[in-house]
Amino acid sequence: MSDAATSDQIATVTVIGAGTMGHGIAQVCAMAGCETRLRDLGSEQVQAGLDKIRANLDKGVARGKVDAATRDASLARLTGTTDLAEAVTGADLVIEAAPEKLALKQQLFTEVAEIVGADAILGTNTSSLSIASIAAPVPHPERVIGLHFFNPVHIMKLLEVVVGEQTDATITERIKTFAERIGKQAIVVKDSPGFATSRLGLVIGLEAIRMVEQGVASAEDIDKAMTLGYGFPMGPLKLTDLVGLDVRLSIAEYLAEHLEQGEHFQPPQLLRDMVAEGKLGKKSGRGFYEW
């Protein structure tokens, strides 16, 4: 562990998963001055993540949002690997951005815990799964905490910090400081199914899908109702396309099962049908919109 880490400064960050969320998390960490390692299972995934970070930074330079020196310094702090031990050895903070599968996240953190020091913080980017459940098989579960970022990570300002039953209070404080450092505003939420943001966002999204299903209005007009009438930056159906209809379906099923009085999270049949047909949103080219 670095001297910086012992003084509560998080100097080295590893992000596991180079996909939509993972590469964005790695970008903001590198831009904040952290040595950042991006790890995925295959070299193609790792390279794709690194390429997206470079593209984001180049776009930022072109738009005058990022200066060239910051871009170059950020890229210099960033490395990619498929080797887990190489990625996490000496890391002060390990953030997993793997798919929303409890067993997968448990396995990842159990493997990481065998390599890193006992004082390394383990952050999960889960948007709905129980922090306590993810931490249950992990040695020193008090260092496991939820770090729910929002897409696109380099633009969205919110970081939902989810505190499990065993999460150490000093870990929470270190993460709040880290959030500020990477340009995020942190909210601290109790470990409860769906936390705050997924519960609120999903219930609106599901109701919007029911309205399409019932022929109340078009997807475009429902989205306009929320952007123009309520000031949402993006309509709930376009957001569903960006998140992925399959992801939304999985979270809805989880919340319907695990929340008391969770019947309003029962997925509409239209959502189930669209996922079955492969209409997953932006990643498949078609959802409520054509992409």
Half-sphere exposure of 31 (CA within 13 A, CB side): 26
Element (H, E) at 35: strand 35-39
Whether a cis peptide bond, with omega within 30° of 0, leads into 152 is yes
pLDDT at position 104, please?
Answer: 97
Q: What is the reported pLDDT for 7? A: 44
Return phi, psi of residue 184, to 5°: -110, 150
CA nearest 20: which of 151, 182, 197? 151
pLDDT at 172: 97
Q: Residue 119 half-sphere exposure, CB side, CA atoms within 13 Å? A: 15
pLDDT at 4: 40
> What pLDDT is attached to residue 8?
64
Distance (Å, whole) CA 111 – CA 207: 40
* Structure tokens given for 54: 């470079």
How many other C-beta atoms lie within 10 A of the C-beta of residue 200? 11
What's residue 3's pLDDT?
Answer: 41
Q: What is the rounded CA–CA span in Å between residue 147 and residue 124?
A: 6
Task: Look at phi and psi of residue 173 and say left if phi exceeds 0, alpha if psi is from -120 to 50, else beta.
Answer: alpha
Q: How far is CA 48 from CA 18, 54, 55, 226, 237, in A?
A: 8, 10, 10, 34, 27
Domains of the chain (ranges, CATH numbers):
3-190 (3.40.50.720), 197-284 (1.10.1040.10)
Residuewise pLDDT in 10s, the chain (291 residues): 334 443 468 999 999 999 989 999 999 999 999 999 999 999 999 999 999 999 999 999 999 999 999 999 999 999 999 999 999 999 999 999 999 899 999 999 999 999 999 999 999 999 889 999 999 999 999 999 999 999 889 999 999 999 999 999 999 999 999 999 999 999 999 999 889 998 999 999 999 999 999 999 999 999 999 999 999 999 999 999 998 999 899 989 989 998 888 888 999 999 999 999 999 999 999 999 999
How far, in Å, CA of 277 to CA of 180, rounded?
42
Task: Report if pTM > 0.85.
Answer: yes
Position 2 scores a pLDDT of 39
User: What does the pLDDT read at residue 6?
Assistant: 39
Is the Cα torsion angle 56, 57, 62, 64 positive or negative in sign? positive
The number of CA neighbours under 13 Å toward the Cβ of 270 is 16
Give me the pLDDT at residue 138, please.
Answer: 97
| Diameter over CA atoms, the chain | 60
Question: Which region holds residue 129: left if phi is over 0, alpha if psi is between -120 and 50, else beta?
Answer: beta
